[in-house]
Amino acid sequence: MTESKEFGWHFNNSYIRLPEAFYAKTDPEVAPSPELVIFNHPLAESLGLDAKSLQSERGVDVLAGNRIPEGAAPIAQAYAGHQFGHFTMLGDGRAVLLGEQITPEGKRVDIQLKGSGRTPFSRGGDGRAGLGPMLREFIISEAMHALGIPTTRSLAVVVTGAPVYREETLEGAVLTRVATSHIRVGTFQYAAARQVVEDLRTLADYTIERHYPEVAKEPNPYVALLQRVMEKQASLLAKWQLVGFIHGVMNTDNMAISGETIDYGPCAFMDTYDPATVFSSIDREGRYAYGNQPGIAEWNLARFAETLLPLLDEDSEKAIEIATKTLSGFAKMYHDHWLAGMRNKLGLFNEEQQDAQLVKDLLKVMKNNQADYTNTFRSLTMDDLNALPMCKTPEFIEWHASWIARLERQPESDSAVKQLMRENNPSVIPRNHRVEEALDAAIKGDFSVMEKLLDALENPYAYTAEQEKYISPSESTTPYRTFCGT
């Protein structure tokens, strides 16, 4: 069934022009009794969609997958991936890409229904999703956007009226996800594994045209593509680390070529600072721990570079040399982004050689004293040292004196310093216990807790009185664990 453009859809679908091996035409499964439970009005308007119409019965049918809008071309995308280091051929097992919306600003974005039923890539799964995990992605992805971190977005969550069977019976739901694209490192791994070089070249050319058109005129556009993806990931990973975000499952199929954060499964934000922090129940070896994330990004990029080898140079040895040389720049690239971000968090406008050591010393004090990551920087920003339990320890007093001396060596005023710090140190993050509190209430039918949390997270750098109740970490002594939701 097709639907008119009354909802503001303006589809122009380019991915389906790739070789058919990259996708499978797939319609979402019918949801027996869909009901809208949360809707993102500002995002809808930015996409050029009619928010009021989309919340009507006919609109909810579209968001549930029961109606296919005019111009849509539903597909499930094929990709591969290294999952916890092991290579697997994959694909959208529980998601359907409706099509590519052209926004009023002329931007192209994917509109995807996640949890909309089985696809040819489901591998025995039901293709469904529970309400809790879809609401979690809504909360975390929108919080990340508010924090200024590149991310996929969440337009809506609809309950389907169909149960989902996992360890227990869950209420089924569909999330409408918006992304610059869903091209992943795993998409290139899929193309490389098929060993059809022309298809690989077609994918690379398409990616360049869609995301990095400026590299098309480079002497070797594929080397330039690798370089640009590295730059995007270096910046992204630094932003994750600077706010204490832990993705939880950094498989290669969860690394977007666009540089957006994608797939919010067992993700969480770190409370007590510790580089070894792991929340995911399936990450038993700590592969994707907070402190390992930059290194894993580099490992994933090496897998991306491997897929590009046939395009980098006809001579395989020279291609490897080119890829190796390009990848060698990632560590410094990441560190530069991270250190620049840390300077901002500490109110430093200029650069001094000892800045990296100043940051390292602070993190050491924080780890030794089991300090809360976000609230430490928040307290420094607000000059509220009494809020820091470690404020009277000799090592913190020594560090604080060094920091003050460093600030005094720059010409900027104290008010300018505090403004810079406020712009880079969030007052509030989606605390894990607050997210769970919101999800528990929503699953029982009370969405007010989630709505209030989203309001508090909408402007994390505002430092408002309304955010105060959301700044404290959990008092529970039980280790927090997250689950992937599949």
Which are the catalytic amino acids? 253
Torsion of CA 156, 159, 162, 164, to 10 degrees: 80
Q: Are 4 and 47 in contact (CB under 8 A)?
A: no
What is the C-alpha to C-alpha distance for residues 183 and 162, in angstroms, rounded to an integer?
30
Angle at which helix 432-443 crosses helix 448-457, to 10 degrees, equals 150
Indicate if the alpha-carbon torsion angle 135, 139, 145, 148 is positive or negative.
negative
- Per DSSP, the three-state class of 404 is helix
479 burial (CB, 10 Å; 0-12 / 13-18 / 19+) is exposed
- Tokens for 234, please give them: 């270096």
According to DSSP, the residues that pair with 114 across neighbouring strands are: 95, 175
Extract the tokens encoding 314: 């006809």
Burial class (CB in 10 A: 0-12, 13-18, 19+), 286: middle
| Structural element, H or E, at residue 302 | helix 293-312
- The DSSP letter of residue 467 is G
Burial of 194 (0-12, 13-18, 19+ CB in 10 A): middle
| Angstrom distance (rounded) from CA 437 to CA 453 | 10
Cβ-contact 189, 87 below 8 angstroms: yes
Residues belonging to the chain? 486
Cβ-based neighbours of 215, under 8 Å, separated by 6 or more: 208, 221, 224, 225, 227, 228
Nearest in space to 329 (alpha carbons), one of 236, 233, 260, 186: 233
Q: How far is CA 124 from the centre of its chain?
A: 27
**Cα 38 to the chain's mean position, in Å?**
20
